[in-house]
Structure 1
Amino acid sequence: MLRVRSLKRVATGDAISLPAAEALPISASQSLRLRIPVTPVVLLFLCGLVAARVFPDSSPISSEAGLGPRLVLPQIQRPQLAFPKASPGGTNLTGLQLRCQSFCLTRDAYVTRDEVSHCQSQCLAHPEVMDWMRALEASAAAPAGVSPDRQLIFAAWYAEGDRGSEGHDNHQLVKPDTSFISTLRKSHPGCSIALLTDQATQFDLPEGVRLFRHTIDRSKLGRNAYANYYQYQAQMAFMQTLMAEGVADTHDVVFLDMDVLVVDSLAEIFEDGSPFDYGVTLSDAVDMPVNLGMQFVPRGRYLNAIGFLSDVIAIYPFNETFIAGQVALSNLVSIHNNAEEVLSRVNASIVEGRSCKLVAGRHRVCFFPCMRFNYCHADQSCCTDVGRLPVSLTTLEELMSARVKVLHFVGHRKKALRLVHQAYMQGGLQGAYQLLSVLPHSEQDYAELDIPALEDYLLHPPAAAAA
């Protein structure tokens, strides 16, 4: 992707010499264009000079007091594509073909002819995806917030086992990373936060975060089937504890991974009139439609949720890999490798906000769209199967219009978690979206990024030193 290649040149760690500030005059009409054949460092430097015009002090991107140097975020322009509007055979295109061609030509995720052609073929096979963006935009209004009589508890699971972090996600940062905590306190003021773990893993937690320990066989834990197995057990034990403490009827629970940043209110998940026992996010990746990075339990439903998780554990596939927990849950709700069921429910969850079904005659399970509540920045199945369906949220405009609420830094994306966290803490939603929109998607592109060098440059641009 054109913008990715430009950003890669900024943060590959190559030795460069920065020009003096006075050598780089800029007029008020100039803006960053990725096609200008000058060094990317100069481009980011120009962005620093015009940051005041791009993000005035009154905008949501301005710094907050006490948060350190301001993060100067680069501006980008989406590449312009121009391809013939005629089919290879020279015949006129059908209405659907024209719609798909227009859709794919305006998607920033597709740059080369092959990518656009693949997008068009997939769009013709699944034309309903063209309506997903409109549906996300239509439901993107900011919620009023959680009613005063109900509160949110966020509970993250992480345990290292006897081998420490060995065997866990090899892309992970130095563990444990607790950036999700300050993000939650910004997006959900007054919420309760807990960290679920085993009997020995150590954490350095901020004040007010509850540490809940659950005894497991630490010798078995690693990047294997036991990871989600022990997670489910800890979640069940935690809900039992909350019931004993008498808060089961006043607190909704969100179970989340530690590499998740919740950047906007989740009040709509728990709005009155839509009761359910358990909620998960759903993508169109038929082979792995459920991602456990976000799970929801409404107040008053703890016993039902425990019963549902007990049924998941009863069919737990210990012969699976580290995705065993997702496979077990998907099997119980009968959507694993069921393309028709998955696509039907994904469409309903996006258009209607959720899709619910009765499981085993007693568990009401609701599916919420991954693209809003478990966003993985494209090229990852926990959002959408970009190899099969032509939909992904990549540009600043798309992220804002869809109002993406949860950012999940799976795999190689963990490398950018702290930088996006800082952008959110200083610039709010737009700050996080702005930075996400210039980050690459593929693992290869991420491998060439020097995130610390990029962070240092964005936080301390030459203009600041010159001033």
Structure 2
Amino acid sequence: SVVGGRVLRGLEKGYSVLRVFVESARLAMPNSQQLVLTDPAAAISTERLPAGISFQRVPGNYSRGNLMLQRLDSYIAFLDDQIKQVGKADSLQHFIFADSDMIVVGDLGCVFLEFPSFDVALTFRNNKEQPINSGMIFVRGSKDGLAKGKLLLQSVVDSYRRDFFRASRMMGDQLAFAWVVRHFADPLEDSFKQGKVFKSQVKGVEVLFLPCSSYNWTPAEGAGQFHGMPLDVKAIHFKGSRKRLMLEAWDSHKHQVAATKDLLPLQCFVLKSGRSKYDF
């Protein structure tokens, strides 16, 4: 891929995606800290990334076919560590688990202030088979919130291993989330269709459901798929072949965004891409 006159190959593409995510998160949420959960065997070139990123190495199975399951296992291990440390920090810290192929364009931390009574927040879309997008998960940093977050994610992992292990490696977690939500909460299909924020109990966990259109929005993929962008979007998720678009958008507008905090030109760049096919 050629981005900004540079040819990106192999690992450099992955580093570029993570770098854009971190840079955008720091602009949108200047008080946030970024931590990467990773394989103990991973050789990470920290000089290719912004300074100040923390790394936590979590033992597990990082084979390609097991990545989505391992991601959830790593989240659980992280929450378990945080439960042991509750009360040691000077102030309460909340956590957002996010895929790295995102540009953060708004303050995601406001979710914890605007909705003070949830344990876990998930993003949803009107998709019958896979209503939950697990690319963004919010967990309240109280001891109860951390414990409830661990409980919910463990239920998803159990469902994944029991029912969906043979699913496509990129779909098993989505299917497991859907199963848990449908089996341990009141019927939610009508709420998913309405596309508004709502709350429901899932296995005793207070779960806030946030529409992907505002909190985890994905651009349409391919030529002719121009559908517009929500005005209140807080994170743009460049799944699959959209990653090149992510890098091009940030490369074209990062200096303007950093100077003015104006994200409209970047968002317009993303929208215009809906008229052409892009591949990573």
Calculate the TM-score normalised by the size of structure 2: 0.80
Q: How many correspondences in the alignment?
A: 251
Offset at 1:277?
1.9
**Distance between the aligned counterparts of 2:114 and 2:90, measured in 1?**
16
1:229 is matched with 69
- Flag the 1:441–1:311 CA change in 2: closer, same or farther, 3 A: farther
**Distance between the aligned counterparts of 2:252 and 2:26, measured in 1?**
15
**Distance between the aligned counterparts of 1:249 and 1:292, measured in 2?**
27
Offset at 1:296?
0.6
2:147 to 294, 299, 303: 303
**Distance between the aligned counterparts of 2:95 and 2:147, measured in 1?**
13
1:200 is matched with 41
**Distance between the aligned counterparts of 1:432 and 1:260, measured in 2?**
13
- Flag the 1:307–1:247 CA change in 2: closer, same or farther, 3 A: farther
User: Superposition pairs for residues 371-410 of structure 1, below 5 Å?
Assistant: 371-379=213-221, 393-394=227-228, 398-399=229-230, 402-410=231-239
1:175 is matched with 14
2:129 is matched with 287
2:7 is matched with none
**Distance between the aligned counterparts of 1:312 and 1:208, measured in 2?**
32
**SS at structure 2 position matched to 1:271:** helix
- Flag the 1:418–1:211 CA change in 2: closer, same or farther, 3 A: same
- Flag the 1:365–1:275 CA change in 2: closer, same or farther, 3 A: same
Offset at 1:272?
5.2
**Distance between the aligned counterparts of 2:193 and 2:95, measured in 1?**
23
**Distance between the aligned counterparts of 1:343 and 1:422, measured in 2?**
40
Asked if 1:358 corresponds to 2:201, the answer is yes
**SS at structure 1 position matched to 2:274:** coil
**SS at structure 2 position matched to 1:407:** strand
1:8 is matched with none
- Flag the 1:359–1:195 CA change in 2: closer, same or farther, 3 A: same
- Flag the 1:369–1:273 CA change in 2: closer, same or farther, 3 A: closer
Offset at 1:393?
4.6
**SS at structure 2 position matched to 1:333:** helix
Q: Report if the CA contact (8 A) 1:173-1:415 is conserved.
A: no
Q: Which amino acid aligns with 1:446?
A: Y
Offset at 1:238?
1.3
**SS at structure 2 position matched to 1:293:** strand
**Distance between the aligned counterparts of 1:406 and 1:231, measured in 2?**
20
Offset at 1:412?
1.2
Q: Report if the CA contact (8 A) 2:125-2:192 is conserved.
A: no
Segments of 5+ residues of structure 1 without an aligned counterpart are 1-67, 69-164, 166-171, 381-386, 452-467
Offset at 1:333?
0.5
**Distance between the aligned counterparts of 1:248 and 1:377, measured in 2?**
39
User: Superposition pairs for residues 60-99 of structure 1, below 5 Å?
Assistant: none
- Flag the 1:311–1:409 CA change in 2: closer, same or farther, 3 A: same
**Distance between the aligned counterparts of 2:37 and 2:158, measured in 1?**
22
Residue identity over aligned pairs, in percent, reads 22
| Greater Cα offset, 308-317 or 323-332 | 308-317
1:103-141 CA-partner distances (Å, limit 9, x unpaired): xxxxxxxxxxxxxxxxxxxxxxxxxxxxxxxxxxxxxxx
**Distance between the aligned counterparts of 2:193 and 2:43, measured in 1?**
39
| Greater Cα offset, 313-322 or 405-414 | 313-322
- Flag the 1:305–1:189 CA change in 2: closer, same or farther, 3 A: same
**Distance between the aligned counterparts of 1:175 and 1:306, measured in 2?**
28
**SS at structure 2 position matched to 1:419:** helix
Q: Report if the CA contact (8 A) 2:220-2:274 is conserved.
A: no
2:165 is matched with 318
- Flag the 1:298–1:183 CA change in 2: closer, same or farther, 3 A: same
**SS at structure 1 position matched to 2:34:** strand
Asked if 1:214 corresponds to 2:58, the answer is yes
Look at both structures and tell me which one has the larger radius of gyration over its CA atoms.
1
Q: Report if the CA contact (8 A) 1:187-1:263 is conserved.
A: yes
Asked if 1:241 corresponds to 2:81, the answer is yes
Q: Report if the CA contact (8 A) 1:378-1:441 is conserved.
A: no
**SS at structure 1 position matched to 2:199:** strand
**Distance between the aligned counterparts of 2:98 and 2:109, measured in 1?**
16
Q: Report if the CA contact (8 A) 1:280-1:366 is conserved.
A: yes
1:431 is matched with 265
Q: Report if the CA contact (8 A) 2:122-2:208 is conserved.
A: yes
Q: Report if the CA contact (8 A) 2:61-2:67 is conserved.
A: no
Q: Report if the CA contact (8 A) 2:122-2:210 is conserved.
A: yes
**SS at structure 1 position matched to 2:201:** strand
**SS at structure 2 position matched to 1:251:** coil
- Flag the 1:247–1:343 CA change in 2: closer, same or farther, 3 A: farther
User: Superposition pairs for residues 39-54 of structure 1, below 5 Å?
Assistant: none
Q: Which amino acid aligns with 2:73?
A: Q
Offset at 1:204?
2.7
- Flag the 1:273–1:182 CA change in 2: closer, same or farther, 3 A: closer
Q: Report if the CA contact (8 A) 1:423-1:431 is conserved.
A: no
Calculate the TM-score normalised by the size of structure 1: 0.49
